[in-house]
Amino acid sequence: MATTTPTPAPKTNRIGLAVLDYRGGKTTLCAGCGHNAISERIIDAFYEMGIQPERVAKLSGIGCSSKSPAYFMNRSHSFNSVHGRMPSVATGAALANRKLLMLGVSGDGDTASIGIGQFVHLMRRNIPMIYIIEDNGVYGLTKGQFSATADVGAKLKTGVINDLPPIDTCGLAIELGASFVARSFSGDKKQLHAMLKAAIAHNGTVMLDVVSPCVTFNDHEGSTKSYKYMKDHEEPLHDVSFVPAFEDISIDYDPGTSVAVTMHDGSQLRLRKLEEDYDPTSKLHAIKRLAEAKEANEVLTGVFYVNPKAPTFLDMINMTEDSLATLPQDRVRPGREALKEIMEELQ
Ligand SMILES: Cc1ncc(C[n+]2csc(CCOP(=O)(O)OP(=O)(O)O)c2C)c(N)n1
Ligand code: SF4
Ligand SMILES: [Mg+2]
């Protein structure tokens, strides 16, 4: 009689979920779009960190990039906002329930063009959330016009040249108060994966600008956001690795050649120095190095700035640990005495 081999049980993470539990709908983006690679890294990072998908709130604006939350973690909460207005929705959700892990996905157009006013106020509040810009230098969804992150001299397929200076979202975020600011490339699997895991462990605003080529409208000769340009011009500041608090943090670490930043949950972000003197906890270093890279036409990647101790907006306003929706009436409604006092003050 033939024996049947039992199918092995799927591999699970520390909360007993399989990677399938972190997947979303089938992508409708173009094959080869950098945004798809970022969705894959998000799935892997949340799976490996053992985050309950129901604890995550996915937020986005409008654009091909902003469609991508539909393609990962379909068990999570999700809100697709108006173009460029995701930060105010995220701020409200973070205030209403600080137990949620907020994950915003935006585009360079959604953030740096129409949404710049909202973006700057999100950064200065250090709202606890991960804010990813899937940066392709164009408005992919509306057929490839330049966005405000396009470099001077970049050329569209039609021959149009951009002569306006780009907005550096990383420089802006550091200046304004985001407490974890990094840049990566959708084609750099290892670096992006480590950064996303560190982002999950951070308490404060993580602003992650990920260069993500648009294969349909901005991947040609003359583009500065193409796969080829990134391969030729990417200049990593350090090798990024991350050891979560639930693993043995003493392994594989050489303090002489690495900088280790301890995150608020005890995890360690390890940056193996490629540049001897770079200090990721110094805003000044970060801003200076970004300016130098710009002069040299390099696309600098890495964790530019991190401060795990910066107070978040929720700490500043002494927000309750409980979700507002679960508070009993006597904690949200002023009593008769308090109302009487207010009325007397107004007389
Ligand atoms: C108020 C408003 N203005 C303009 C548009 C048209 N529009 C849709 S997506 C988009 C740009 C998206 O670019 P980006 O955020 O870079 O996303 P990508 O498609 O490149 O990923 C624009 C201008 C809109 N939907 N709403
Ligand atoms: S148009 Fe560009 S940004 Fe949009 S899905 Fe296609 S490759 Fe991606
Ligand atoms: Mg874009």
What tens-digit pLDDT sequence spans the chain (347 residues)?
566 778 888 899 999 999 999 999 999 999 999 999 999 999 999 999 999 999 999 999 999 999 999 999 999 999 999 999 999 999 999 999 999 999 999 999 999 999 999 999 999 999 999 999 999 999 999 999 999 999 999 999 899 999 999 999 999 999 999 999 999 999 999 999 999 999 999 999 999 999 999 999 999 999 999 999 999 999 999 999 999 999 977 766 677 788 999 999 999 999 988 888 889 999 999 999 999 999 999 999 999 999 999 999 999 999 999 999 999 988 888 889 999 999 999 98
In angstroms, what is the span from residue 35 Cα to ligand 1's centroid?
Answer: 15
How far, in Å, CA of 176 to CA of 30, rounded? 34
Q: Tell which one of 33, 36, 62 to mutate to probe ligand 1, the residue whose CB is within 8 A of the most ligand atoms.
A: 62
pTM exceeds 0.85 for this model: yes
Q: What does the buried/exposed string (b/e) look like for 259-288 if buried means 16 or more CB atoms within 10 Å of the residue's CB?
A: bebebeeebbbbbeeeeeebebeeeebbbe
CB half-sphere exposure, 213, CA atoms < 13 A: 19
Contact 135, 211 (CB under 8 A): yes
Which protein residues are within 6 Å of ligand 1, measured from CB? 62-65, 83, 107-110, 114, 134, 136, 138-142, 147
> Which ligand 2 atom is the nearest neighbour of the CA of 63?
4
Which residues make Cβ contacts (< 8 Å) with residue 216, sequence separation at least 6?
30, 33, 140, 144
How many angstroms separate the CA atoms of 252 and 184, rounded? 23
What is the residue whose two structure tokens read 């230098």? Answer: 137
Contact 29, 186 (CB under 8 A): no
Ligand 1 pocket mutation pick from 113, 142, 210 by most atoms within 8 angstroms of CB: 142
The residue assigned the tokens 């993580």 is: 206
**Ligand 2 neighbour 215 (Cβ under 6 A):** yes
The closest ligand to the CA of 157 turns out to be 2
Which ligand approaches the C-alpha of residue 143 most closely? 2
Contact 186, 218 (CB under 8 A): no
Rounded Cα distance, 309 and 16, in Å: 31
Residue nearest atom 2 in ligand 2 by C-alpha distance:
214
Radius of gyration of the chain (CA): 22
> Rounded to the nearest whole angstrom, what is the distance from the C-alpha of residue 110 to the centroid of ligand 1?
6
